[in-house]
A and B are shown apart, each in its own frame.
Chain A
Amino acid sequence: MNKLLFEKSKILIVDDQQANIDLLEGFLEMEGYQNILSTSDPRTVLNLYESFAPDLILLDLAMPYLTGFKVMELLKQIVSADNYLPILVLSANITPEAKQRALAEGASDFLSKPFDLIEVGLRIRNLLSAKSMHQQLQNQNVILEDKVKERTAELELIAIDLLAAKERAESGDRLKTAFLQTISHEIRTPMNGILGFASLLASPDLTEGERAEYLELMKISLDRLVGTITDYVNISLIYTDNLQIQSQQVRLVHLLTDLESKFRKECDKKGLKLELQLPDHIFEFLLETDSELLRTVISHLIANAIKFTNKGFITFGFEILPSVIKIYVRDTGIGLGQESQQMIFEKFMQIDGSTTRNYEGSGLGLSICQGILKFLGSGIHIESDPDKGSVFSFTLPAKEYTDPEL
């Protein structure tokens, strides 16, 4: 048993002889006990029990006003049944009858006067040991409850995590299924066009005009198929961390102008206005990056804008900011709600949902953009309002500030 534990134990001494109190107090203090309270008036014991809450009482039997027997009888009434209160009776020349009576009233043990200090020490230690066991057993239940509560809380947290993980896994599953269906659809559609026109071309009765038209339509389908396959190759390179970056000097204005002419026709067809905006007095801007990947990202953003805009205009271009340039594509399309803005960045999410089913394409565009930009050390920023349009932008480090004459 821990010595320190005993030293903190609270001992109440009740003896009408001050000499006995002094002797016991002196001895117990010498033994290291720190919490000792004494009274020579037995009538104060009940109050002291309440206020001091002793672990052990040393009780004289023969006292004026109240005998030790009476004190024990009164204590018995106020000490709750589950509280173990050892009482060590101090007695001189005690008769067997008196001992029996003391035992019956609740005495735990006796110390005969004159005191043998060895016995005083060991008997007090033994009773405090029993008291301490009792206390610990009672505490056990409280500790047990606390621990169970603690563990339950931990388990609940884990359960929440598990549910979230399950949710994610299930939604990932759904998305993968949808993804495969989209792949299948996006490959079959242009293949049907190619096969269909190929068999039509075999017909001997075609005019030159029809033949040229069919070939043109076949080429559109082929372009779309190549585009789709390129998307899938890109996305798998991105997700398997195999995308290779070939940094070179890129003429940004040249690249953007090229893209403008590439998408011009498609916009005209949809009745959309396409405009390239350049910063004032800038005729060319040199960037150190992967030209093909940059082209892919901006192409996807423009294609996306065209896809989701039915009237109005699409403007794109760049702004020169301190040490970076910001490339943007703005549209007046259907826009995105807050929730959708977050969702489109999740893997496979962009191909799910009813929206894309009304529009052509693999639906992987944004995912590819985000993936590529991550490799380039950047990311897509979206500002969007449903029904008002969106601005998709990203920044790239611009080490070199270009001579406008170039």
Chain B
Amino acid sequence: MLNSNLKNAKILIVDDHLVNIDLLTGYLQMQGFDNIESTTDPLLAIGLFKSYEPDLILLDLMMPLLSGYDVLDQLRPLVSPDVYLPVLVLTADISPNAKQRALASGAKDFLIKPFDFIEVLLRIRNMLETRYLYQQLEKKNKILEEKVAMLIKIMSGWNK
């Protein structure tokens, strides 16, 4: 079963087909994920990203008005390079071109439609786990740096 780190992870689903959202949301809730937000309007994706601050984004590629590629392009400048924000691309288009383009735009992996639920679960799990580890590492680094800085401050005070 999911550990609490994964269970509480925030997942944002962006897909213009409500049925896909319902399907994924239903399955993920069944698997124990508690925090799922979604939209069928890709124009709202960036706003939701800012307000919801998801740990993982499931992003459809083929959407009207704004494609998944466009969303990825808008997303990139908002995510600092030392943050690991996984984006899983949902697509029925398995052409090498489509895959290459999505990867180049910043996607971390794919989920091919129609969904294989075992793959949905394990890929989400892998991505979230990597993000969690990344955050832990950042946190520990920060604590370490703070401690070292504090020690240096104390020590330089002594030297005076």
Contact surface of A with B, Cβ cutoff 8 Å? 96, 99-100, 103, 107-110, 116, 118-119, 122-123, 126-127, 129-130, 133-134, 136-137, 140, 143-144, 147, 151, 154-155, 158, 162
**A361→B108 CA distance, assembly (Å):** 89
Q: Is there an interface contact between B122 and A109, defined as CB atoms closer than 8 Å?
A: yes
Q: Is there an interface contact between B144 and A100, defined as CB atoms closer than 8 Å?
A: no
B16 touches A (CB below 8 Å)? no
Instruction: Tell which of A123, A127, A140, A158 touches B140, judged by Cβ atoms closer than 8 Å.
Output: A140
Q: Is there an interface contact between A133 and B155, defined as CB atoms closer than 8 Å?
A: no
Instruction: Tell which of A96, A137, A140, A155 touches B151, judged by Cβ atoms closer than 8 Å.
Output: A155
Interface core residue of B133, B155, B159 (most chain A CB under 10 Å) = B133
Known contacts A109-B119, A122-B103, A130-B126, then 12 further A-B pairs from the complex at CB < 8 Å, ordered by chain A residue: A99-B116, A99-B119, A103-B118, A108-B126, A109-B123, A118-B99, A122-B109, A126-B126, A129-B130, A133-B133, A136-B137, A144-B144
Interface string of B109-141 (1 = CB under 8 A from A): 110000010110111001101100110110011
**Complex interface: chain B residues within 8 A of A143 (CB):** 144
Contact surface of B with A, Cβ cutoff 8 Å? 94, 96, 99-100, 103, 108-110, 116, 118-119, 121-123, 126-127, 129-130, 133-134, 136-137, 140-141, 144, 148, 151, 155, 158-159
Instruction: Tell which of B100, B123, B140, B155 touches A118, judged by Cβ atoms closer than 8 Å.
Output: B100
Q: Is there an interface contact between A122 and B126, defined as CB atoms closer than 8 Å?
A: no
A343 CB → nearest B CB, Å: 28
Q: Is there an interface contact between A103 and B122, defined as CB atoms closer than 8 Å?
A: yes
Tell whether A127 pairs with B126 under 8 Å between CB atoms, given A137-B136, A140-B141, A158-B155: yes
Q: When A and B form their complex, what is the total count of cross-chain residue pairs whose Cβ atoms lie within 8 Å?
A: 71
Q: Is there an interface contact between B110 and A119, defined as CB atoms closer than 8 Å?
A: yes
**A11→B160 CA distance, assembly (Å):** 53
**Complex interface: chain B residues within 8 A of A162 (CB):** 158
With both beta carbons as reference points, the residue of chain A lying nearest to B133 in the complex is identified as A133
B33 CB → nearest A CB, Å: 16
**A108→B31 CA distance, assembly (Å):** 17
Q: Is there an interface contact between B130 and A119, defined as CB atoms closer than 8 Å?
A: no
A93 CB → nearest B CB, Å: 12
Q: Is there an interface contact between B123 and A134, defined as CB atoms closer than 8 Å?
A: no
B80 CB → nearest A CB, Å: 15
Q: Is there an interface contact between A151 and B148, defined as CB atoms closer than 8 Å?
A: yes
Q: Is there an interface contact between B133 and A137, defined as CB atoms closer than 8 Å?
A: yes
**A230→B137 CA distance, assembly (Å):** 71
**A151→B151 CA distance, assembly (Å):** 8
Q: Is there an interface contact between A122 and B130, defined as CB atoms closer than 8 Å?
A: no
**Complex interface: chain A residues within 8 A of B99 (CB):** 116, 118-119
